[in-house]
Amino acid sequence: MGKQRRRKPLGSMAVVALVCILLFHGCFIPLGLPFFLPEHQWILENHIENDDHSPLADLNCLSYGGPEDASEMIYWRDITTDAAYTSPFYNSKATKYLTFEPDKGGWNNVRMNLETVIVMAHAMGRTLVMPPSQEYYLLESQKGESTITLDTFLPLSRLSREQAGLEIISTEEFLHRERRSLRPPHNRTQWDGMSYEIATEYQPWIRSVTTMPSWNPEKCIAVFSDDESRESELESWFSMRMESQAFPKPEQYFGHPVSVDAPSIDRLSEMRAGREQLCVYNATLQQQRLLHFHGKPKLGGRLLTHFYAFLFFENWHNDLFYKRLVRDHLRYADHIQCAAARVVQAVRDRAFQRTGLREFDAFHIRRGEFQYQKTRISAGDIYNASQPEIRDGAVVYVATDERDKTFFTDLQKHFDVVFLDDFAHLLNGMDSMYYGMVDQLVASQSRVFFGCWFSTFSGYINRIRGYHADKNKAKGYKHGIISSYYYAPIVNKHRMCGYWPLFGSLYAREFPTSWRDIDHDS
């Protein structure tokens, strides 16, 4: 995965001679002569070639079982100037690395962590080393494969090819490059699928040979600047404001967002969210060849955060660039998008047959082992919370982890309720580990959406809805407003109906700053 370094090619006469010898002995020669590449490199490059089929700003589902037109799913853009941008820290002649450990929570926590480290890798001008395939909480393939690689869900190989200044490689490739100097345990370069050994041997070792910044997203804001003098100015200004307690209260920004191109001190003031420190990426850190983010609370900070809530860019153009980088590249892979598009069209067809309109509403109802008891309310109370926003008789798509469908009886008295199960025939044998992602994409297309407070699953649906609203210039888009609500706790029902700055538990929901006016300079 990523941009692979090739061996020096053989001379043309040597190639011809070798081909003749092999043909004489009856050997089949694959086009491209892959036997000149190391085995691990050949495998990775073949994976890249077979990645998603669509151009960046398109979604072609014909090779995934349709639909013929999936354009309504597209919220991303192909911006040429973005693709060419490199960080001021990037130096193609001096490779430096960023390694990390994935979050141990559910998929959406893992995704948030991954978005953050990808943005950091590009901003630092570093090659990002992906962790070995391993077990992830609540992610298990129907095919019996318990270990997962993260590019299964997001088109990371494409990102590495399409974005200047960002190389993404596997742990195996990293260790092949650096084995002599780093000496990994047992001199092993292949750790894929070895979840126990990764936790007990590889991770402790990688922490011991790298520099680990003590950045805690709950306590500090990570600052990136193009100018070292501006770094010290921001730090001095921030310290003075902290001493004098002169920062504005979050309430000042309710309904009044700071302009995306405002001076850095104004943008930083809105972003502060009660944090009292700046963690500056400075020359000292840039000199370190290997940086590692462990994400462990006991070791100084779990990267359970949204990238835009943790990483501050002194240059406002860079801030918007990285928000677009995530929007345009870190979307679900095409085969997931296309499966969702088929379901969306089927739900719209059902709605048209029943109401004469090709629109539906949606819920994400979180049950399962969710620890937040305030959100565990009855279906009757969920219905009451949805009034008057969802009309009786409406077709309502429910994304849920509740297996007992009788729980939804009180909703079914008022709505035509459908679940992903009802459209299983459209999934073409898709592995069930993708179902939650399909649920998110389908719910993102609804007219009105009700989510669950504290849920990162609901949060990501809202961010996708925000991307669509900004693209389509929907009502209220200038303030990042979307037609989404929360069914519990009811006091938070209308939080997405107005502009809210970063505030409270930053990881537990999404904020309009991630999608509002991010194409301002593109």
Looking at the fold, whether 362 and 277 belong to one and the same domain comes out as no
d(CA 291, CA 96): 8
Q: Is the pLDDT of residue 260 over 60?
A: yes
In a domain, 236, yes or no: yes
In a domain, 324, yes or no: yes
Looking at the fold, whether 359 and 257 belong to one and the same domain comes out as no
d(CA 43, CA 391): 52
Q: What is the mean pLDDT of the chain?
A: 89
Which pair of structure tokens corresponds to residue 78?
């192909």
Looking at the fold, whether 304 and 384 belong to one and the same domain comes out as no
pLDDT at 297: 74
Minimum mean pLDDT range among 98-107, 123-132, 145-154, 254-263:
145-154
Mean pLDDT of 282-302: 88
pLDDT at 26: 41
More confident residue, 140 or 317: 317
Looking at the fold, whether 208 and 253 belong to one and the same domain comes out as yes
Mean pLDDT of 4-25: 41
pLDDT at 467: 98
pLDDT at 301: 75
What does pTM read for this prediction? 0.88
DSSP-based three-state secondary structure for 337 = helix
Contacts 24+ apart (CB under 8 A), 183-192: 189/40, 190/40, 191/132, 192/132, 192/133, 192/134, 192/147, 192/149
Q: Name the residue among 463, 501, 502 with its Cα closest to residue 484.
A: 463
In a domain, 283, yes or no: yes
Which residue, of 278, 309, 329, is where some domain finishes?
329
pLDDT at 296: 78
Q: Is the pLDDT of residue 262 over 70?
A: yes
Which residue, of 284, 307, 329, is where some domain finishes?
329
Which residue, of 297, 329, 361, is where some domain finishes?
329
pLDDT tens per residue across span 377-428: 999 999 999 999 999 999 999 999 999 999 999 999 999 999 999 999 999 9
Instruction: Decide: 137 and 105 in contact? Cβ < 8 Å.
Output: yes
In a domain, 35, yes or no: no
In total, how many domains does the chain have?
2
In a domain, 240, yes or no: yes
pLDDT tens per residue across span 112-142: 999 999 999 999 999 999 999 999 988 888 7
Looking at the fold, whether 140 and 191 belong to one and the same domain comes out as yes
Looking at the fold, whether 280 and 358 belong to one and the same domain comes out as no
In a domain, 99, yes or no: yes
pLDDT tens per residue across span 230-244: 888 899 999 999 988
pLDDT cut 70: percent of the chain above it = 89
474: domain CATH number? 3.40.50
Looking at the fold, whether 356 and 402 belong to one and the same domain comes out as yes
pLDDT at 371: 65
Confidence of residue 6 (pLDDT cuts 50, 70, 90): very low
pLDDT at 254: 95
pLDDT tens per residue across span 322-368: 999 999 999 999 999 999 999 999 999 999 999 999 999 999 999 97
Range of the structural domain that residue 114 is part of: 77-329
Looking at the fold, whether 244 and 352 belong to one and the same domain comes out as no
Q: What share of the chain is helix, strand, coil (3-state, %, to 5)?
A: 45, 10, 45
Which residues lie closer than 8 Å to 462 by C-beta, 6 or more apart? 449, 451, 482, 484, 496, 509, 510
Looking at the fold, whether 290 and 404 belong to one and the same domain comes out as no
pLDDT at 373: 73
Looking at the fold, whether 188 and 262 belong to one and the same domain comes out as yes
Looking at the fold, whether 463 and 499 belong to one and the same domain comes out as yes
Mean pLDDT of 274-301: 90
In a domain, 112, yes or no: yes
More confident residue, 38 or 267: 267
pLDDT at 299: 73
In a domain, 197, yes or no: yes
Looking at the fold, whether 121 and 262 belong to one and the same domain comes out as yes
Confidence of residue 63 (pLDDT cuts 50, 70, 90): very high
Mean pLDDT of 149-155: 92
